[in-house]
Amino acid sequence: MSGTELDYIKEAFNSNWISPLGPNVDAFEKELAETVGVKGAVALSSGTAAIHLALHLLDVGHEDYVICSSLTFAASANPILYQGAKPIFIDSDMESWNMSPQALERAFIDAVELGYLEKIKAVIVVNLYGQSADMDAIIKICSQYGKPIIEDAAESLGATYCTSNNGQLVSKASGTFGEFGIYSFNGNKIITTSGGGMLVSNNLEALDKARFWATQARDKALHYQHSEMGYNYRMSNVLAGIGRGQLKVLDDRVEARRRIFKRYEEALQGIDSIAFMPELSYGKSTRWLTALTFDASILNITVAELCRMLGEHNIEARPVWKPLHLQPLFKGTKYYSHEVNGMSVSDFLFENGVCLPSGSNMSSEQQERVIDTFKRSIQ
C-alpha cells in the first residue's frame, strides 16, 4: 500500500458509498483512462470479467474461434469458453516472449484456406510479465484480415510501446492498441485493489453497454426488470478507493520493479546459460516479474529443483506460465508454433524459465539473500 488509500476508503465509509457504484468508482475510471490515454474505462470485479465483456461486445458466440496467446495464465482464455467459442493458440517469439507475428499470420492463412476465417471473431494478445507484444506487426496482420484485437495488459499496466504515427515515433500505453484493453488489479499486480480489473476503449458506446451488462443488465425501470442477460461484475466503491490511491504511485512501482530486475541481471548474468527476458527497443517494460531461463544440463539443476531449494529458504520462485496448449483443459485445440515444424518457443520457456521474487517493496537486503541462495543452489 502507498499510504494514501485510506483517505479514499474513509471517503467511501463517511459518505456511505459501499456498493458497486459511487464517487470512487467514477473517479477511478476517469483517472485510469487519463493515465493510459483512452477515452473511457469501466471498473470491474476482475481482469477476467473485462475479457469476458470484451468478447461479448465483439459478438463472440457458440462455435466461433478466438485467437489467443498460449504463454499466459488460464484467465486469458477461460472467457472464450464462457462464450461457447474455441481458442486457437499462438506461440511466442524469443525476442519478446509474446505473441509471434509469424505464427499468427500462419493461423490466418490456414483459416482462409480451410474456410473458417469468418468464424474468427477476435485476437487476444497477452503482454507477458510487463512487456508489450510487437503490436505494430500484430495490428498489421489483424487489419489485413479484418479482425479486432483485445489487448490483455493484465501484467503490463505502466508499460509503453513506441509506434509510428505519420512518420514520427509515438509512445503509447500498453493496453491501448486494440479495440479493447484490459487491466488487472489482483493482489499480485503492479498496483492492486485486492481484486479487480478495468476494461478500456475509445468506443464509449461499447463501454456503456459493458457497464450495463456488468450491473446485471438492469433496465431503466422503477421495478427490477431485465431484458438481457447480465453479470455481477462491477467493482465496489471501497476497492475503487484503494485503486485511486495505488494509481498515484504507479510510476514509482514501475521504477522499483525495473531496479529489482537490474540488480538481478547484474548479479546473475555472468553465470553460464542464464538469459533474462529481453526488453526490445520498441517499448519500455515494467519488469512486473523478473524472469530468466537457464540450461539445466549446464547448471545441473531443473527449474522444479531450483524452486524447491529456494522454497526451503522461504523464498518463493515459480516456473513461467505453462502454455495453454499444454493444459488439460484445452487439450486438442489448434496451436501454431513460432516456426513450422520447429521449436515451440513457449514450450522452451516453460521448461527452462523461472520467475524470481520481484515485489515493489523488496529491500536490497532481501534481494541479496535471494541472489545468494540462488547462487548456492546451483553450485
Catalytic sites, residue numbers = 189
126 and 133 Cβ atoms separated by less than 8 Å? yes
The whole-angstrom separation of Cα 98 and Cα 345 is 10
Residue 9 Cα to chain centre, angstroms: 27
Phi first, then psi, for residue 167 (nearest 5°) are 85, -5
182: helix, coil or strand? strand
**78: Cβ–Cβ under 8 A, 6 or more apart, which residues?**
48
The whole-angstrom separation of Cα 84 and Cα 44 is 22
Pairing of strands 86-90, 334-336: parallel
257 and 158 Cβ atoms separated by less than 8 Å? no
Residue 204 CB burial class (10 angstroms; 0-12, 13-18, ≥19)? exposed
The whole-angstrom separation of Cα 87 and Cα 67 is 6
Length of the chain: 379
Pairing of strands 86-90, 168-173: unpaired
